[in-house]
Structure 1
Amino acid sequence: MIPLIALIVSWAVFRLIGLAGGSYFDEWHTSLQAAVAFMLLLTASAHWGAKRKDLVRMVPPSFPKPGRIVTITGYLEIAGAIGIMIPALSLYAAIGLVLLFIAMFPANVYAARHKLTLGGRAVPSLPVRTLLQLIFLAAVVLASSLFN
């Protein structure tokens, strides 16, 4: 839930900044791009922080080298956060992020079915996690240059 809260709150903050002063964030789209980037950087930070062990445990056992997978997906989230902010790369970043979210979904299914924890808290149930994934996918697509 923290990524969803980060996405919503950061979007609102960026919109307020834009509405207050006609800054870079004066459009909903640029505010959403920044919010998606913020959310991705937040989630990527977990790939090397205190939650890393939990993320590694979320990788289904059928996948080899779960630690490497967690590291690579963290780097891809950072690349996506940067790419979504660059107009010439935004569409490609969005496509890559959609594919990344789809590729990471089995870990969410595994974690939900095995009632794993993330940072000491139970991971969301599968229906909740599916809804969150759809929201994140929609945010990434809307933040792409398709809607600019």
Structure 2
Amino acid sequence: MLIPLVLLTALAVFRTAGALGVRRFDGWRVSAAHAMAVMLLFTAGAHFAPPSVTVMPNSADLTAMVPPQIPFPELVVYGTGVLELAGAAGLVLPATRRAAAVCLALLFALMFPANAYAALNGVELAGDAPSPLVPRALEQVLYIATVTWVAWPARTRPHPAAPGRDADRATGAGRRS
């Protein structure tokens, strides 16, 4: 439950900043993109944390989550950590946000078997009891939905009072005498 809490807390901070006038965070989608980036920085840290770190998951915990059929589990853990860092950077840059979101959605889907393996085989994280499969699956769905949502902003429609032929007709503007 810590990781979704990091995401939601970061979202609240960014939206508050937007409400206080920080223009970068003036919308929910951009705030969610930055919140997801904060969450990814947090989770990526676990990929590089030495086994002596016991207050949060560490690289040894994450290596234990990798299903045995996957070769080079340590390399997989470090590689996914690098991909999470790259995804975080990509989400905060508008020019790369969509590409980063697509790649992250794929990464989250590809990492789910490790979460399923950990849940079904009792793999502990930071000494905590394994979390059940359903909450893990719901978290993955949340992350995939979030990156998908921030990547494809809603289409904006012109304001009804925007200047144009219909607005001119309604106000009588542009009429010839």
TM-score where L is the length of structure 1: 0.95
In structure 2, give the amino acid aligned to 1:40: L
Give the RMSD, CA atoms, in angstroms. 1.1
Counterpart of 1:140 in structure 2 is: 147
SS in structure 2 at match of 1:88:
coil
SS in structure 2 at match of 1:21:
coil
Counterpart of 2:96 in structure 1 is: 89
Deviation of 1:73 after TM superposition, in Å, equals 0.1
Indicate the percent of aligned positions where both proteins have the same amino acid: 43
Runs of 5+ unmatched residues, structure 2: 155-177
Deviation of 1:57 after TM superposition, in Å, equals 0.4
* Bigger proportion of residues as helix: 1
Deviations 1:86-107 (A, max 9, x none): 1121111111001111111110
Deviation of 1:2 after TM superposition, in Å, equals 1.3
Higher radius of gyration, 1 or 2: 2
TM-score where L is the length of structure 2: 0.80
Runs of 4 or more, structure 1, over 4 Å off, are none
Counterpart of 1:67 in structure 2 is: 74
Counterpart of 1:55 in structure 2 is: 62
Structure 1 segment 8-87 matched on structure 2, within 5 A:
8-49=8-49, 50=53, 51-87=58-94
Distance 1:123 1:132 in 2: 14
Distance 1:22 1:121 in 2: 39
Number of residue equivalences:
147
Runs of 5+ unmatched residues, structure 1: none
